[in-house]
Amino acid sequence: MTTWRRVLAHLAPHRGALLLSVAASAAYSALDAFSFVVLIPFLAAVFGAGDAAATAGEASARLEGALEFTLGRFVDLDGNPQSVVGGIILFLLVLVALKNAVDFARACLAARVEQGVARDLRNRVYGHLLDLDLAFFARTRTGQVVSRLTHDVEQLRTLVTSELTRTLAAVLQFTACLYWMIEISARLTAAAFVVVPLTMVIWGPLVRRLRRGDRRVLDLAGVVSSHIQETVSAIRMVKSASAEPLERRRFRDLTRAYFDAFLQTVRLRALAGPITEFLVVAGTAILLWYGTRMVLVDGTLSGAAFLGFILLSTRLYSPVKYLSKLPALIQPGLAGAERVFEFLDAPAETRDRQGVREFTGVVREVRYRGVCMEYRTGDRVLRDVDFRVPSGSVVALVGPSGAGKTTIVDLLARFYDPLSGAVEIDGADVREFRLASLRGGLGVVSQDTVLFHDTVGANIAYGMPGASASEVEDAARSARAHDFIRRLPDGYETVVGERGTTLSSGQRQRIAIARAVLRNPPILILDEATSALDTQSERLVQEALKRLLEGRTVFVIAHRLSTIQRADLIVVVDGGRVAQQGTHAALMEEGGLYRRLRELQFQ
């Protein structure tokens, strides 16, 4: 499917309002053009021999018949010139009022289509982004995602609605004016279009350069957005490293590149005005020369008809001018459409298979059976990982940074699927469970607690829209969070700020634990849950975690080995492989990597 076909497909749900808008545009164009045709008998009555009904010369009988059928019903075109002029003026007032009423309806309908398409586009792109795998977000900068969801979708909306609506209106206005111009004089109309082929020759190369330039501008806009987002997210590191001059220099380089690319496309697009203006003047000059010859030399056209033709041609050149610039105007929208469609075409690799079933919990064990994993082809991060975790036990994953510990638990949640091997629950591959059901059975408490710019209560109940206020409060009590929440300015209705910046690290962790308690998951994942806390906060969080661990199968990722001595099973991961596994006592007796890591940590 071509880009244009995909773009126009977004209009299908709004075809009713679109058709009404087109009908209103057609009515407006017909009334607008006819209001200038009515000026022909007006001019004949004022400057002619008093015969307002006659258009003279080459003007067709259909034109005279149309005037008699419409204007002649209300004004006696053969009557006294003063009466004819007064009647035509009144007719014009009514015609203009009706034209503007139709234009109002057209504008409202066009806005309905425009905003409806914008809403649908954003919803579709955002919904698809949520379905994409973590691998997509790992290779795509956040600023690029935001830029395409906002700026590029806006460009696509403008292309689909604003430019399309204006194009339809211009075509209809052009058609209506052209019809009456041909009725007045076919030869004079042909003379008015002598310069059109020249326009096509000029615009071809210009449009191709504009397409490339607009794509580069949009790409650079995404890069600038990404840089801003990364810098703001890491502002503490920037300041601690006194790297403000470096970041200013990097940002100036990016904005200079964007500035240069943008100006280059503006210069190309700005050529549209002078080129079109020159062609319009050239066409008008030909029209004036040939038209006056028909009136003064050949006598094949009346002066009133010629003036009416000139007035109509002024209305004709407005849509011609717009349509001639259209190839340049639509390039940003087409470039934005291509970038948006790249996102929409990105496949969601992790999805439900046919015949999946609900996940209800762990009865016997969780088993990793010969699991291999790679994020990039040929670069394996897990190799033949094999171990089992009995139901209700605690397994600790330890090892050097980058060994693959987080990847192991990510496979359990199906954030990724393994290259080979399988993760099994009670003998069933996790891919046999419905994805939402499987993830709904997992509770995650990590070092980097994610809180949204919302109330405390909403953050605890995140993903559990049916939770009552009493259930949220009970979960907070279990997580040792109720007391500090009650002391906040608005209690559970206190807005925590972006990423929970108004709370301490320990408070954020206890809210995350309350969230996990409320979900009541059969499997719990603790990813360095207490490593960033001070002693007092860690004690409170550890007390909350003890309650949360009861009766669950727990995976603990830990660098602080003192926190996992009582684990039922310790799995030591090194270089993507399981180097050792066993209890703390057994591993210390065995020696090897676990013992070396512990000795280094406590030396």
For residue range 313-334, what is the model confidence (pLDDT) as tens digits?
A: 777 767 766 676 666 667 777 7
Q: What angle in degrees, to the nearest 10, is found between the helix axes of 81-131 and 15-37?
A: 160
Q: How far is CA 395 from CA 220, 475, 571, 581, in A?
A: 46, 24, 7, 10
Closest CA to 2 of 368, 337, 428: 337
pLDDT tens for each residue of 245-286? 777 888 888 888 888 888 888 777 777 667 766 766 777 777
pLDDT at 534: 58
* CA–CA distance, 352 with 356 (Å, rounded to integer): 7
CB 343 within 8 A of CB 148: yes
- Nearest CA to 549 among 519, 518, 525? 525
379-390 sheet: strands from edge to edge: 379-390, 365-376, 420-425, 428-429
Phi first, then psi: what are they for 583, rounded to 5°? Answer: -80, 170
Q: Which amino acid is at 427?
A: G
E-only strand ranges, 280-408: 365-376, 379-390, 394-398
Instruction: Please tell me the distance from the alpha carbon of residue 48 to that of residue 556, in angstroms, as a whole number.
Output: 98
Domains belonging to the chain, first-starting first, are 3-345 (1.20.1560.10), 365-602 (3.40.50.300)
Give the pLDDT confidence score for residue 366 in this predicted structure: 92
pLDDT digits (tens, 9 = 90+) for 27-57: 888 888 888 787 777 777 776 644 444 444 4
Maximum Cα–Cα distance across the chain: 121
Question: What does 245-279 look like in DSSP terms, one character per residue?
Answer: HHHHHHHHHHHHHHHHHHHHHHHHHHTHHHHHHHH
Integer Cα distance of 411 and 422 in angstroms: 9
How many Å apart are CA 208 and CA 164, to the nearest integer? 20
Cβ neighbourhood burial of 85 (10 Å; 0-12, 13-18, 19+): middle
Measured CA to CA, the distance from residue 580 to residue 159 in angstroms comes to: 60
The total of other beta-carbon atoms located within 10 Å of residue 157's CB is 24
Mean pLDDT, the chain cut into blocks of 10 residues (603 residues total): 73 85 87 81 66 47 68 71 80 87 88 82 81 75 74 75 76 82 79 65 65 75 74 65 76 86 80 69 76 76 76 73 67 75 75 83 90 84 91 88 86 88 91 87 79 85 83 84 86 80 79 83 79 60 69 81 77 89 87 81 64
CA distances, 230 to each of 146, 226, 251 (Å): 12, 6, 11
E strand residue ranges, 138-222: none
Taking each helix axis as running N to C, give the angle between helix 61-70 and helix 15-37, from 0 to 180 degrees, rounded to the nearest 10: 100
> pLDDT tens for residues 115-140?
888 788 888 888 888 777 777 777 77
3-state secondary structure 527-574: ECCCCCCCHHHHHHHHHHHHHHHCCCEEEEECCCHHHHCCCCEEEEEE
- On average, the pLDDT of the chain sits at 78
What's the CA gap between 212 and 214, in Å, rounded? 6
Q: Cα 73–74–79 angle (5° rounding)? A: 100
CA–CA gap between residue 525 and residue 394 (Å, rounded)? 10
For residue 203, the 8-state DSSP code is H
* pTM, rounded to two decimals: 0.65
Number of helices followed by number of strands (H, E) in the chain: 25, 10
Task: Annotate 457-478 with DSSP letters as a single string.
Answer: HHHHTTT-TT--HHHHHHHHHH
